[in-house]
Structure 1
Amino acid sequence: MPRFPVISTIIVALAVATMIGLGIWQLQRKGEKEALLALYAANATKPAMAFPEIGPVSDDALFRQSSATCMKVVEWRSQSGRDNTGKPGILYIAECQTGADGPGLLAAMGVADRPNLKPDWNGGIVSGMIVTEPDHYSFLERAFGVIPTPNPMLVSANAVSGLRTPAKPDPAGISNNHLSYALQWFFFAAAASVIYVLALRKRQAKN
């Protein structure tokens, strides 16, 4: 009579249980994400609030209307972005001084087709929507590195001279892929179970 592979079976059972657990966790995350997106959508309809000076930005503040004063543009950042018609281009973000010792202000002030521009704007009142500064960290950096707290940023409702109005931040654009991740983990668990059962049958047939 062939010897039953107890240790291998335990290892596979633990792996399958882990994958099922991850699938269940992803389903829980799906519900949490849906609640968060509903909060963001509600925030967009609320009255304007004071601009948060430093991060982290609370969920209650994201996608809220706000305004702040840029005393002086210290530097311009640029990255890919879209204007309010959906046309892609270069998004220009102003790093602003807000006072002698203030924390500063990041403000997305418009989109252009040309890189390396220096927009003709050096400060003023910025009104728009609160988001966080763009995240350029890789998956590995986020998973294993020490990632600084993202700073709040205003996406201006109006472009400065020479730029096009940036796209209005939309909570609907935030992905919620947790259901597909859950189904993948459940599929992996089922596939591992079937493969192991077939391997056991093949082993028994040889003995």
Structure 2
Amino acid sequence: MRRIPVIATVLVLVAVAVMIALGFWQLDRLHQKEALLAHYAGAQRLAQEVDWPRDARGQEDLLYRHARLDCVAVTDHSSIAGRNAKGESGAAQTADCTLADGTRARVVLGWSRLPMAAGGWPGGEVHGVIAPGPRLVASPPLAGLDANAVPDPADIPNNHFAYAVQWFIFAAMALVIYALAVIKRNRA
């Protein structure tokens, strides 16, 4: 029987070890994502409204909470793809606001089939839900628009278990393919 090639075997084993480590990393990410989604779901159930957070960390911590802000000046209007409360596709109408302390916030005013349907909204008090971005999705909608779909943490994908399984399958396939190659080489 011929010898097993040392360098090729070491390379394959290192690659397999990396794939297995990536699989376990994805399992760890799965648990982190589950905890994050549970945090968001809990935040969504809290009825008490909070002030719009002024810094990025506060915005991340308060995602899916009910919040309020006072838009003292609108610096820009735009529209992005979005869905209304009925699930229909259209345009979410947004406004970039400056708050009294000079910080900025993006507000999703409401939904329309037409882009730029709320270009004349002058600002004011806004109540809604903090969505990723971050942005405040107005509830009730403003500027005569229809209601947007309420931001829901259940819409955030959690595919880490599938990714972990993929990495473990890749590792197993690499071992099988390498074993078959060594067997074929030794028979030749």
Question: What is the TM-score when the length of structure 1 is the normalising length?
Answer: 0.85
> 2:74 aligns to what?
73
> 2:125 aligns to what?
125
> 1:60 aligns to what?
61
Bigger shift: 23-32 or 109-118? Answer: 109-118
Which residues of 2 match residues 16-165 of structure 1 at below 5 A? 16-46=16-46, 47-57=48-58, 59-99=60-100, 102-133=102-133, 152-165=134-147
Residue 78 of structure 2 contacts residue 116 of structure 2 at CA under 8 Å; is this kept in 1? no
By how many angstroms is 1:92 displaced?
A: 1.1
Q: Deviations over 1:7-49 (max 9, x none)?
A: 0000000000110110011011111111110010001122222
List gaps (5 residues or longer) in structure 2: none
Residue 118 of structure 2 contacts residue 145 of structure 2 at CA under 8 Å; is this kept in 1? no
> 1:4 aligns to what?
4
Provide runs of 4+ in structure 1 moved above 3 Å.
56-60, 116-120
State which of 179, 196, 200 in structure 1 corresponds to 2:161: 179
Report the AA paired with residue 157 of structure 2: S
By how many angstroms is 1:59 displaced?
A: 4.4
Distance 2:137 2:13 in 1: 50
By how many angstroms is 1:118 displaced?
A: 4.0
Q: What is the number of equivalent residue pairs in this alignment? A: 187
Distance 1:58 1:114 in 2: 29
Distance 2:24 2:127 in 1: 42
Report the AA paired with residue 70 of structure 1: C
Larger helix fraction of residues: 2
Residue 106 of structure 2 contacts residue 136 of structure 2 at CA under 8 Å; is this kept in 1? yes
Distance 2:132 2:36 in 1: 15
By how many angstroms is 1:156 displaced?
A: 0.6
Report the AA paired with residue 114 of structure 2: R
> 2:172 aligns to what?
190
> 1:141 aligns to what?
none
Question: Alpha carbon RMSD of aligned pairs, Å?
Answer: 1.5
By how many angstroms is 1:162 displaced?
A: 3.6
By how many angstroms is 1:124 displaced?
A: 1.3
By how many angstroms is 1:50 displaced?
A: 1.8
SS of match in other structure, 1:44: helix
Q: Deviations over 1:107-149 (max 9, x none)?
A: 100111112334342111100111232xxxxxxxxxxxxxxxx
List gaps (5 residues or longer) in structure 1: 134-151
